[in-house]
């Protein structure tokens, strides 16, 4: 930890480095130098280190024998802070192999009980009181982070609650600045998204009309987009005979698009109403049970990136056990499709309804004239014709049987193109790019920190 003392406000740059990729530490170092080059007074430390937090607290606030003896401060933590710490703590646990290999069950109630027991241990009052003392110091102006989940999520929430600005590197919007606010992260994100939509030009929408057309047909050329995960070649697809069984007739078929179970399911979550579920696994179990009890055939597509999260294998295997259980007990009709299942295959199904938690597949399904239902709040939650955001199980069970009567294909298609453009605009503004995977299965990265393009501080 190094602190340069001068009259400028202090920026705390959290140097917690365990996440994601092997060059994460080097990327953070470049961000730190980037800020210092612009003249900001940056403190560089790991806020997960109790020792570093202890010394920073003393440096800023002085040593108080009374405080350190009683370990108490008149702190009123907000409900949003408690939600953020609870769900981020859970997301960290499900990334641990020794946890998921032993704790996963197909019983929803038992799984929820495990969550409640785990989250009771999530709050360290002594640690968070010190963090709060640091954020309340008038010298602290900003907290600089890179992740919008895991340990950094409650840090961001507590900073905003105590009038400290938060800067994020590596978001879908590039570099993102959040001013102190009592509003939830998703509320702030949706507001920013809505403002950005107003800046979209007709020429952009015209371009994305053809891009999304290629995407749903499986012939997308990523060189036309600012994709963070570009592919080397165009992907050309035909309707594979493997999926010919999808032409079966039914009143409705629920098409369940899974997410990566262990890739921060509670990303940016600081409210209970973000979703009624604790994570994507509980959500998937509920939908499988709903389909079984209501005689609704279900098609399940795993997320294409699940293979990069080893713990997802435990969840996928457990979900398959649940499917077979209900197939035996309730004669559930289900089909598990591969990641090569393209969106236009949905048109081969008699009455498909796409169901996702917060997936961008809603853009493709709406473009194809297929209604969708979402369970989690998202940046595009105010595109009301794009997907139906349900608040609870009762609302889902009322909407699902009549969703076709509520769906406006023309308006949904327009909003699908808007979402496509907005997502690609954000991805093209990422402060780093991930290239095609090499034979060693590693990412290649390049940093783009052009200040001219990001006048945000």
Q: Is 101's pLDDT higher than 90?
A: no
> What CATH number should be reported for the domain holding residue 253?
3.40.50.2000
Same domain (yes/no): 178, 214: no
| DSSP letter, residue 354 | E
Q: Is 69 a domain residue?
A: yes
Same domain membership, residue 71 and residue 33: yes
Q: Are residues 236 and 121 in the same domain?
A: no
- Give pLDDT, residue 109: 93
Based on DSSP, count helices (H) and strands (E) in the chain, helices before strands.
16, 13
Q: Which residue has the higher pLDDT, 40 or 322?
A: 322
Are residues 77 and 213 both part of a single domain? Answer: no
Predicted local distance difference test score (pLDDT) of residue 232: 41
d(C-alpha 449, C-alpha 452), whole Å = 9
The answer to whether the beta carbons of residues 2 and 44 sit under 8 Å apart is yes
Q: How far apart are CA 292 and CA 330, in angstroms?
A: 6
For residues 156 and 222, membership in a common domain is answered with no
pLDDT band at 36 (very low <50, low <70, confident <90, very high): confident
Q: Are 11 and 435 in contact (CB under 8 A)?
A: no
118 and 240 belong to one structural domain: no
Of the listed ranges 215-219, 257-261, 285-289, the least confidently predicted one is 215-219
Identify whether residues 249 and 291 lie together within a single domain.
yes
Q: Region 15-40: what's the mean pLDDT?
A: 71
- Rounded to an integer, what distance in angstroms lies between the CA atom of residue 432 and that of residue 27? 9
Pairing of strands 174-178, 165-171: antiparallel
pLDDT at residue 70, rounded to an integer: 57
**In-domain check, residue 60:** yes
Pick the range with the lowest mean pLDDT from 29-33, 128-132, 352-356: 29-33
Instruction: Note whether residue 190 is domain-resident.
Output: no
d(C-alpha 266, C-alpha 185), whole Å: 12
pLDDT at 346 over 70: yes
Q: Is residue 370 part of a domain?
A: yes
- What is the overall mean pLDDT for the chain? 83
Structural domain of residue 238, as residue ranges? 201-428
pLDDT at residue number 449: 58
| Domain closes at, from 127, 153, 182 | 182
Q: Are 209 and 424 in contact (CB under 8 A)?
A: no
**Lowest mean per-residue pLDDT among 86-95, 382-391, 441-450:** 441-450
Note the pTM of the prediction, 2 decimals: 0.88
Higher pLDDT, 378 or 196: 378
Pairing state of beta strands 432-434 and 253-257?
A: unpaired
Whether 149 and 267 have beta carbons less than 8 Å apart is answered as yes
Number of structural domains the chain divides into: 2
Same domain as 170, residue 273: no
Question: Residues 312, 238: one domain?
Answer: yes
DSSP letters, 185-226, are HHHHHHHHHHHHHTT--HHHHHHHHHHHHHHHTT---GGGTT
Give the distance from CA 267 to its chain's centroid: 4
Asked whether residue 445 is assigned to any structural domain, the reply reads no
| Confidence category of residue 339, pLDDT binned at 50, 70, 90 | confident
**pLDDT at res. 224:** 46
- The yes-or-no verdict on residue 20 having pLDDT over 80 is no
Does residue 444 form part of some domain? no
220 pLDDT higher than 90: no
Domain boundary among 128, 152, 182: 182
Residues 274 and 164 in one domain: no
Q: Which pLDDT does position 59 carry in this prediction?
A: 87
- 10 CA to centre of own chain: 29
| 152 shares its domain with 245 | no
Give the Cα separation of 375 and 276 in Å (integer). 8
Residue 449 lies in a domain: no
Instruction: Tell me how far apart the terminal alpha carbons of the chain are, to the nearest angstrom.
Output: 23
439 within some domain: no
| Pair (126, 230) in one structural domain | no
């Amino acid at each position: 930890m190094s602190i340069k003392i001068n009259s400028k406000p202090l920026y705390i740059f959290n140097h917690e480095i365990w996440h994601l990729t092997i060059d994460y530490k080097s990327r953070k170092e470049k961000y730190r130098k980037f800020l210092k080059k612009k003249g900001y007074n940056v403190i560089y430390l790991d806020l997960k280190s109790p020792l570093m937090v202890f010394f920073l607290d003393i440096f800023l606030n002085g040593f108080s024998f009374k405080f350190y003896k009683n370990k108490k401060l008149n702190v009123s933590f907000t409900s949003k802070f408690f939600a953020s710490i609870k769900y981020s703590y859970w997301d960290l646990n499900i990334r641990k192999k020794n946890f998921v290999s032993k704790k996963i069950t197909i019983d929803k109630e038992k799984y929820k009980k495990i969550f409640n027991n785990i989250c009771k241990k999530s709050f360290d009052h002594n640690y968070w009181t010190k963090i709060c003392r640091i954020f309340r110091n008038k010298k602290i102006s900003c907290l600089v982070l890179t992740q919008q989940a895991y340990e950094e999520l409650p840090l961001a929430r507590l900073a905003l609650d105590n009038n400290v600005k938060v800067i994020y590197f590596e978001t879908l919007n590039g570099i993102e600045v959040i001013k102190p606010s009592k509003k939830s992260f998703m509320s702030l994100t949706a507001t920013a998204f809505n403002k950005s939509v107003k800046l979209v030009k007709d020429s952009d929408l015209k371009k994305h009309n053809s891009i999304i057309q290629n995407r749903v047909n499986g012939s997308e050329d990523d060189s036309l987009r600012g994709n963070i995960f570009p592919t080397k070649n165009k992907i050309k697809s035909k309707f594979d005979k493997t999926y010919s069984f999808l032409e079966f007739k039914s009143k409705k078929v629920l098409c369940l698009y899974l997410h990566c179970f262990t890739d921060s399911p509670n990303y940016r979550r600081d409210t209970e109403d973000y979703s009624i579920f604790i994570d994507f696994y509980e959500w998937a179990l509920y939908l499988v049970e709903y389909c079984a009890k209501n005689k609704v055939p279900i098609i399940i597509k795993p997320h294409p990136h699940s293979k990069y999260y080893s713990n997802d294998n435990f969840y996928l295997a457990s979900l398959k056990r649940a499917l077979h259980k209900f197939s035996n007990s309730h004669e559930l009709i289900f089909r598990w499709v591969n990641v090569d299942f393209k969106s236009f295959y949905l048109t081969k199904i008699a009455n498909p309804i796409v169901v996702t938690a917060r997936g961008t597949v809603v853009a493709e399904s709406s473009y194809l004239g297929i209604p969708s239902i979402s369970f989690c709040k998202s940046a595009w939650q105010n595109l009301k014709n794009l997907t139906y955001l349900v608040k609870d199980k009762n609302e889902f069970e009322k909407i699902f049987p009549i969703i076709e009567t509520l769906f406006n294909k023309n308006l949904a298609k327009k909003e699908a193109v808007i979402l496509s453009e907005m997502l690609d605009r954000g991805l093209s503004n990422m402060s780093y790019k991930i290239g095609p995977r090499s034979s060693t299965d590693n990412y290649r990265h390049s940093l783009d920190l052009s200040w001219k393009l990001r006048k945000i501080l």
